[in-house]
Amino acid sequence: MIKSIHFKFFQKANLYSWGSSWNGQLALGKDITEQYSPKKILLECNSSDRLRTGSYHCLLIKEKSFYSWGSNNFGQLGLSNDSQDLPVPALNQYFEKNLNIKRIVDASTGAFHSIVAVEDNDGCYKTYSFGWNERGQLGHDNWMKSKINSEPKEIVALRGKQVTAISGGFDFTIISTLSNGVYAFGMNDRGQCGLDPHRFPILYSPTVIPELRSTVLIKISSGWGHTLAMNSENQLLVWGSNFHGQLGTGSKSQLGKPVPVQQLNIATKLKSYDDEILDISCASSASLIMLGKKSNGGYLYISGSSGDGKLGISGQKEDLLEFTDMNLPAMKQMSMGKDHGLAVPLNDNLVFYGWGFGQHGAIGLGDKNLSVFTTPVKNDFFKQTKSNEIIQIQSSLDTSFALIKEDS
């Protein structure tokens, strides 16, 4: 009997990085500590790869394995007992060789920890974590016995639960499942896990967020102490720290439980009253959302801290307590790092905009003397390369990445 064979087509892509690399987080080798314009990483990539960026480390997710690089002082690269930083990508085949998995479902990186959800060949879903665990952010009940896990370890409480979205915050983790609600674990002193911080200042094992017991989230993004989430009904939910108004609720009151933000109240200058939430992204203390229609692109709205120009609105010196129109063209991709943002316009596949803190090159303009960009600036670097599309754009702590589809 001849078995049918399923072929997957992956188009070749190149990964570029720029910004700070003191811990090797740009994957450009040990001799580069700052890069002021995009530079190609020597790594074989394809158009289906998924990039996840932590504060000082990165994971590039393949179908069954992943590459990791950057800081490894807490074992967040998942390379057994090796605690040395890696300035170049290292292939990690732990799941493929040890577990014979079918696929990596999703992954996320926190400040110093990593989470990976997989499906094995028996159709069982499992979630693994590694890295810094001092505040319970890895979700293991015996966290006191191992405050650092340098290789992937299963979160037993999540076995059999199909993950739909993951977000690693600074010292906490949020995980949504298909049929079992939304779980949180780690530090909760500011309500960042979606529970009352006075009753639950820290969660050592996965705990269902009561308000999200029957909710499926399709995307989650966490800052240093707050979270934005999109549910399956295209509703925006927010919770956690709100000292700078980063939750966009109109006040600076901290939220110890998820609260919906009605789309019609998000801003006063919506392009259309039937706009959908297309994307969300958190900075350290600011939040960015994209509203629009997929076919027409989306418009960017931002809230939170005005420090280091991260709001991208010229002359805005005060914090923004509500999501406010950045007055940019329609976009198709966007990403917030700690203090800077990037976005790709709908009408140009090889251009991106950057704003915020750029002292170490995170905006990618090639000028060492430019440090803070209070308004978005256009960068056409990739028009000079043999490329035809920016597939993914990512930003983190003073670092930026772009996965670029190459001309065939």
Per-residue pLDDT of the chain (408 residues; tens, 9 = 90+): 333 333 344 689 999 999 999 999 999 999 999 999 999 999 999 999 999 999 999 999 999 999 999 999 999 999 986 678 999 999 999 998 888 899 999 999 999 999 999 999 999 999 999 999 999 999 998 655 577 889 999 999 999 999 999 999 999 999 999 999 999 999 999 999 999 999 999 999 999 999 999 999 999 999 999 999 999 998 999 999 999 999 999 999 999 999 998 654 554 444 555 678 999 999 999 999 999 988 889 999 999 999 999 999 988 889 999 999 999 999 999 999 999 999 999 999 999 999 999 999 999 999 887 889 999 999 999 998 888 899 999 999 999 999 999 876
CA distance 150 to 167: 19
DSSP 8-state assignment for residue 216: -
Whether residue 399 lies inside any domain: the answer is no
The boundaries of the domain holding residue 191 are 49-266
Strand order in the sheet with 50-53: 50-53, 57-61, 66-70, 86-92
Whether residue 303 lies inside any domain: the answer is no
CATH number of the domain enclosing 94: 2.130.10.30
Whether residue 74 lies inside any domain: the answer is yes
CA distance 161 to 120: 12
User: Given this model, what pLDDT does residue 144 score?
Assistant: 58
CA distance 92 to 79: 7
User: Given this model, what pLDDT does residue 5 score?
Assistant: 35
User: Given this model, what pLDDT does residue 10 score?
Assistant: 60
CA distance 47 to 220: 22
Whether residue 375 lies inside any domain: the answer is no
Total of domains in the chain: 1
User: Given this model, what pLDDT does residue 265 score?
Assistant: 52
Whether residue 57 lies inside any domain: the answer is yes
Strand order in the sheet with 113-120: 101-109, 113-120, 125-132, 148-154
Whether residue 355 lies inside any domain: the answer is no
For residue 16, what are its two tokens? 């570029």
261 phi, psi to nearest 5 deg: -110, 115
Whether residue 231 lies inside any domain: the answer is yes
Q: State the Cα angle at 340 between 48 and 148, rounded to 5°.
A: 70
* Count of other CB atoms within 10 angstroms of residue 80: 13
User: Given this model, what pLDDT does residue 261 score?
Assistant: 86
Between the alpha carbon of residue 46 and those of residues 10, 49, 208, 390, the distances in Å are: 6, 6, 36, 12
Whether residue 54 lies inside any domain: the answer is yes
Q: Determine the number of helices (DSSP H) and then strands (DSSP E) in the chain.
A: 0, 29
